[in-house]
């Protein structure tokens, strides 16, 4: 018989799927690393498990303890899977710009959820970063995950996602494109791929209102780049330690409108029911057209599932309110 010992054993080994209609004007083949096949429907399952296992090994996470994390939703879901299987409590701190579906899913998985305002400085005591750190001090026998600076985040992708992409493409990949938030995925995958072939180009997709692109190009952290945006799961108003800028060859920025519109187009034209960052990622690929040649093989990673966004990017009333539909 073939079966998984528990749900955590099903994490990883996600498929590559060819894009056809949306990429028809590109000279090369574009393959999607389709991370919704993970049990928590996102790429974050990989690093959530790695961070917990490493915390257990180092002794900072004790039996019966409480896991605390600031999350945009998907890391929280991955942590919830592992916490349930391993017998931990979970407290997730999330910003109020995230979809209601994400909050409901975390609570459905048994997590305690604290919702914090988005439009405040990271150092503000009301921010989700500050709230998570405060709770970690107040709750006994707790461990603050800190996915932004936790090296186990990028480690997970160096050990799993990167090798999978290399093997699935028979080493023929020439470009890797992915939205950047905590930086774990792009840094871990990028580090592995460049260890195999230093000529592979690693491109990050950023959003307007985030600091990544300008910092990568100038080395300047510019507060004037920071303003509220609706795209979920990518971009930051801080510089996470997991973002290895030396690994990244460049960034392209995608507007909120394009990210939302292309999230819908992926569903309607490719039958790919995906999250908001996937719309940003595929639009980023299209914006990078001039960098691709006929024999190139581009892999774009799609983070999460469309079920988390049915009240937003897949709701035409919401899209009209935002000015994203004509």
Q: How far apart are the C-alpha atoms of 218 and 250, rounded to whole Å?
A: 12
Among 33, 44, 253, 283, the one annotated catalytic? 44
Nearest to 255 by CA among 290, 283, 236: 283
CB within 8 Å of 96: residues ≥ 6 apart: 115, 116, 117, 118
Q: Does residue 44 have an active-site annotation?
A: yes
Question: Can you spell out the DSSP letters for 263-318?
Answer: HHHHHHHH---B-HHHHHHHHHHHHTGGG--TT-EEEEEE-BBGGGGTTTTT-HHH
Which position has the token pair 């303890």? 65
Between the alpha carbon of residue 254 and those of residues 17, 126, 138, 180, 236, the distances in Å are 23, 28, 39, 12, 14
Tell how far CA 70 is from the center of its chain. Answer: 14
How far is it between the farthest Cα atoms of the chain? 58
- Taking CA 29 as the corner, what is the angle to CA 27 and CA 35, rounded to the nearest 5 degrees? 140
Neighbours of 95 (CB within 10 A): 20
CB within 8 Å of 257: residues ≥ 6 apart: 322, 323, 324
DSSP 8-state class, residue 150: -
CA contacts within 13 A on the Cβ side of 70: 24
Q: How far apart are the C-alpha atoms of 282 and 36, rounded to whole Å?
A: 16
Which of the residues are catalytic?
44
């Amino acid at each position: 018989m073939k079966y998984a010992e528990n749900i955590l054993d099903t994490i990883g080994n996600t498929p590559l799927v060819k894009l056809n209609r949306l990429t028809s004007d590109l000279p090369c083949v574009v393959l999607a690393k389709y991370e919704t096949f993970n049990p928590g429907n996102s790429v974050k399952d990989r690093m959530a498990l790695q961070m917990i296992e490493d915390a257990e090994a180092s002794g900072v996470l004790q039996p019966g303890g409480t896991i605390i994390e600031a999350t945009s939703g998907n890391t929280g879901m991955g942590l919830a899977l592992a916490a349930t299987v391993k017998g931990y409590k979970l407290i997730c701190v999330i910003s109020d710009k995230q979809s209601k579906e994400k909050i409901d899913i975390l609570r459905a998985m048994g997590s305690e959820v604290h919702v914090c305002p988005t439009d405040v400085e990271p150092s503000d005591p009301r921010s989700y970063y500050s709230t998570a750190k405060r709770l970690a001090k107040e709750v006994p026998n707790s461990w603050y995950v800190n996915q932004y600076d936790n090296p186990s985040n990028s480690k997970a992708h160096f050990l799993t996602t990167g090798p999978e992409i290399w093997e699935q493409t028979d080493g023929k990949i020439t470009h890797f494109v992915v939205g950047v938030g905590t930086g774990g995925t792009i840094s871990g995958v990028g580090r592995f791929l460049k260890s195999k072939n230093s000529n592979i180009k690693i491109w990050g997709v950023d959003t307007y209102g985030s600091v990544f692109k300008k910092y990568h190009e100038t080395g300047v952290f510019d507060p004037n780049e920071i303003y509220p945006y609706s795209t979920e799961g990518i971009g930051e108003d801080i510089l996470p330690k997991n973002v290895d800028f030396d690994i990244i060859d460049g960034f392209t920025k995608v507007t909120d409108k394009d990210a939302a519109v292309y999230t819908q187009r992926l569903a309607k034209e490719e039958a790919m029911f995906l999250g908001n960052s996937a719309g940003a990622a595929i639009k980023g690929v299209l914006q990078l057209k001039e960098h691709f040649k006929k024999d190139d093989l581009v892999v774009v990673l799609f983070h999460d599932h469309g079920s988390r966004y049915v009240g937003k990017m897949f709701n035409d009333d919401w899209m009209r309110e935002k000015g994203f539909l004509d």
